[in-house]
Amino acid sequence: MNNALTLSSMGTLSNLRNLAGPILIIIILAMMVLPLPPFVLDLFFTFNIAVSIIVLMVSLYTRNPLDFAVFPTILLLTTLLRLSLNIASTRVVLLHGHTGPDAAGKVIEAFGHFLVGGNYAIGLVVFIILVVINFVVITKGAGRIAEVSARFTLDAMPGKQMAIDADLNAGLIGEDEARKRRAVISQEADFYGSMDGASKFVRGDAIAGILIMLITIVGGLIVGVMQHDLELAAAAKNYTLLTIGDGLVGQIPALIISTAAGLMVSRVTTDEDLGEQVLNQLFNQPQILIITASILGIMGLIPGMPNFVFLLIASILGGIAYLKLKSPVVQPVAAPAPELPSIEKTDASWSDVTPIDTLGLEVGYRLIPLVDKAQQGDLLKRINGIRRKFAQDIGFLPPVIHIRDNLELRPNAYTITLKGSIIGQGESYSGMYLAINPGRVTAQLPGTATTDPAFGLPAVWIEANLREQAQLNGYTVVDASTVVTTHINHLIHMHAAELLGRQELQKLLDHLNTQFPKLIEDLVPKLLPLSTVQKVLHNLLEENVHIRDMRTIVDVLTEHAAQTQDAVDLTAVVRTALGRAIVDQYYPAGSEVQVMSLHPELENILTHVMQSGGAQGAGIEPGLADTLLREARSAAQQQEKLGLPLVLLAPGAVRFLLAKFLRRAIPQLRVLAHSEIPDSRKIKITSVIGGNK
């Protein structure tokens, strides 16, 4: 029973929250039309002041602007609330202003009498000054900052998106985290764009405040003199004081809200709130405090100056500087150098023969902090993420990457090795950032010009304090660890076929055996030896076909192993079974398959070569080979200009020959067989190879 009541109460509260917004809007609009008694006006004026103070406090303690993303909407609502209160109070002032200073409520009376001493001339000056400060200084400045921030945020979006894609491809983050980061980037652009527009409401509110005040004063004089037979001086005093009180009670909250808007758009996002930023950055250097205190102290000793005030402030600043100097400073303790093991004279043994690492990473001594957990190095964690992402994308777990330092390398250099041979190398600078130019940057950055080691794009190494500027200028900015891990990730995908050794394949089959035990037992070794299965998978990986669908691969091999033991023929039937997944790699589901094709005469010639035993491409005549390469390059260039994948459609009989022959000359080219295209996909030929005579 109690639980039911609790759920009912929670549902009621949820419904009330959903209705809060519409009810508030209706009340604001109703105040513009319906007359309100003075007491209700007091309530709404007090509520307006309370809301403005709450907004200011939230903006002071907000660490990230997106934590207060509703601020532009609140800015609009508070502006509408002030305007509706101005209309409601003007109605009351004109109707009952002749009765005395409390005609429009106690709040307006207090602001008209106590804040300006009942002097409407002073009140008029104070009101105009507040409006000028709000309109000319705060609102205009905040609007300009919001406008510039919106423009630079939009310019930086492509670079930030590419950085997210780089982290995702490197396995540093998952799909959910990438989706969240993309949403944050979009929200940032929306926030600053909304702030730019919302600031126009505040500026319009300031102008409306001046016009409403003038109209109310003139209207009050006319009503007081013409309708209520008041003396001109009495009418001026009553209506002007009421109007000024009304203007002040509206402009002070407006000034507070505008200040909050300026704070929101002008601050730099950190893990500290505004108070912590000010204290840590303004009063953190005792030398500056000492110099300031000395200058104030000297000024305080000059005759005729307010000596007590100058000396008091100088003493306070000097005391703060003294406390800063006396506070202990934690110095980082250098890690002791590792002791080298003593070398004993022993006979050589078989233990001196060490196997070559399948994958290795060698780093210069300045990159050691990247792999040292004691120095907050995260390269090991990121490499584990790369292996996990590779396993998810390709279908098997790559070998462990062994990392060691190499004093023969340059201090900031690194090399990536595969079975002892270097397959990649580059340089990375710990503590700095690599700003990669994706081709649409808006300004150049100071730093060390270089190229991205993974993809060869132009880049520049920059200091950490230029990171935000680089992103705003359209660069993709990554740290030193990401440079290395992205390079490793790119290379292990390129050499996936070489990474699948017999040990890795056996572990993969053992893993599958736990899920489909009978399936694996029927294939290996009853029907096919492990070496043939490895060769089939090697052929798939060599042409960028993942092996995640091992169940289909094993089913097809089991079905066709009785007809042939040739790895090339088995690869062809496996590719046909995986056709949908292969095509989806290059063409989204439902889209048209736009490919290059072979001329029928060239197809016949290549088919004859295959029948003559030229499966390895050795049987192609030199003249035919040159013509084929030349026309294939030309068609590939045309395909690239169209923005289409480099895919060549060929008969199944010559697909393997073409793929092997063209792979070295055009690495990005993929050759698909007709049988690999699903029947549901529409094919369009963009160019024909071999049709030129």
Percent of the chain with pLDDT over 70: 83
CATH, residue 487: 3.40.30.60
Looking at the structure, do residues 400 and 543 belong to the same domain, yes or no?
no
**Chain centre distance of CA 63:** 17
pLDDT bracket for residue 536 (50, 70, 90):
very high
Highest mean pLDDT among 195-204, 426-435, 518-527, 623-632: 426-435
Looking at the structure, do residues 200 and 87 belong to the same domain, yes or no?
yes
Looking at the structure, do residues 568 and 690 belong to the same domain, yes or no?
no
Give the span between the Cα atoms of 382 and 480, in whole angstroms: 12
Give φ, ψ of 606 to 5 degrees: -65, -35
Single pTM value for the model: 0.59
pLDDT, tens digit, 9 for 90 and up, residues 302-357? 887 777 887 888 888 888 888 878 765 544 444 444 444 444 555 777 777 778 88
Cβ neighbour number for residue 192 with a 10 Å cutoff: 23
- Which residues on neighbouring strands pair with residue 595, listed in sequence order? 685
Q: Is residue 114 part of a domain?
A: yes
Looking at the structure, do residues 265 and 300 belong to the same domain, yes or no?
no
B/e letters for 45-65, b = 16+ CB within 10 Å, e = fewer, are: beebbebbeebbebbeebbeb
Whether 300 shows a pLDDT value over 70: the answer reads yes
Give the span between the Cα atoms of 691 and 685, in whole angstroms: 13
Instruction: Tell me if 464 sits within 8 A of 433, measured CB to CB.
Output: yes
Looking at the structure, do residues 510 and 471 belong to the same domain, yes or no?
no
Instruction: Provide the pLDDT for residue 120.
Output: 65
Number of domains in the chain: 5
Give φ, ψ of 160 to 5 degrees: -65, -40
Looking at the structure, do residues 124 and 198 belong to the same domain, yes or no?
yes
CA distance to 133, 280, 534, 641, per residue, from 265 (Å): 18, 20, 59, 43
Q: Is residue 338 part of a domain?
A: no
- Which residues on neighbouring strands pair with residue 688, listed in sequence order? 597
Q: Is residue 263 part of a domain?
A: yes
Give the span between the Cα atoms of 39 and 258, in whole angstroms: 27
**Chain centre distance of CA 401:** 29
Strand 458-462: give its sheet, edge to edge. 448-451, 458-462, 433-436, 476-479
Looking at the structure, do residues 551 and 663 belong to the same domain, yes or no?
no
Whether 193 shows a pLDDT value over 80: the answer reads no
Q: Is residue 77 part of a domain?
A: yes
Strand residue runs (E) in 297-339: none
Q: What is the mean pLDDT of residues 54-79?
A: 80
Q: Which helix (H) or strand (E) holds 177?
A: helix 175-222
Domain boundary among 436, 462, 494: 494
Which residue's entry shows tokens 């292969």? 582
Q: Is residue 612 part of a domain?
A: yes
Helix 567-577 vs helix 550-560: crossing angle, to nearest 10: 130
Looking at the structure, do residues 554 and 606 belong to the same domain, yes or no?
no
Looking at the structure, do residues 96 and 204 belong to the same domain, yes or no?
yes
Question: Minimal CA–CA distance to 241: which of 123, 86, 126?
Answer: 123
Looking at the structure, do residues 132 and 266 belong to the same domain, yes or no?
yes
Q: Which helix (H) or strand (E) holds 421?
A: strand 421-427
Give φ, ψ of 415 to 5 degrees: -135, 145
Instruction: Give the residue with greater pLDDT, 43 vs 147.
Output: 43
Domain boundary among 233, 249, 271: 271
Instruction: Provide the pLDDT for residue 578.
Output: 95
Strand residue runs (E) in 266-420: 359-363, 401-405, 413-418
Instruction: Tell me if 48 sits within 8 A of 78, measured CB to CB.
Output: yes
Rg (CA), the chain: 38
Question: Which residues are CB-contacts of 653 (< 8 A; sequence separation ≥ 6)?
Answer: 607, 610
Instruction: Provide the pLDDT for residue 436.
Output: 93
Question: Minimal CA–CA distance to 689: which of 626, 559, 598?
Answer: 598
Among 197-211, 314-328, 450-464, 478-492, name the one with the lowest average pLDDT: 197-211
Q: Which two tokens stand for residue 546?
A: 């993942």
Q: What is the mean pLDDT of residues 68-87?
A: 81
Q: Is residue 341 part of a domain?
A: no
Q: Which helix (H) or strand (E) holds 113?
A: helix 106-113
Strand residue runs (E) in 348-392: 359-363
Looking at the structure, do residues 506 and 487 belong to the same domain, yes or no?
no
Question: Minimal CA–CA distance to 573: which of 470, 663, 655?
Answer: 655
Among 24-38, 48-62, 554-568, name the one with the lowest average pLDDT: 24-38
Q: Which two tokens stand for residue 378?
A: 């995260």
Domain boundary among 577, 597, 631: 577
Q: Which two tokens stand for residue 678?
A: 């699903």
Question: Minimal CA–CA distance to 473: which of 432, 439, 450, 430?
Answer: 439
597 φψ region: left (φ > 0), alpha (ψ -120 to 50), beta (else): beta
Q: What's the chain's average pLDDT?
A: 81
**Chain centre distance of CA 455:** 21
CATH, residue 570: 1.10.8.540
Cα first-last separation, the chain = 89
DSSP code for 465? G
Looking at the structure, do residues 413 and 559 belong to the same domain, yes or no?
no
Q: Which long-range contacts (CB under 8 A, 24 or more apart) does 683-687 make?
A: 683/592, 683/593, 683/595, 683/649, 684/592, 684/593, 684/594, 684/595, 685/595, 685/596, 685/597, 685/649, 686/594, 686/595, 686/596, 686/638, 686/639, 686/642, 686/644, 687/596, 687/597, 687/635, 687/638, 687/639
Q: Is residue 624 part of a domain?
A: yes
Give φ, ψ of 226 to 5 degrees: -80, -35
Question: Minimal CA–CA distance to 381: which of 176, 686, 167?
Answer: 167
pLDDT bracket for residue 428 (50, 70, 90):
very high
Whether 692 shows a pLDDT value over 70: the answer reads no
Domain that holds residue 313: 283-325
Q: Is residue 687 part of a domain?
A: yes
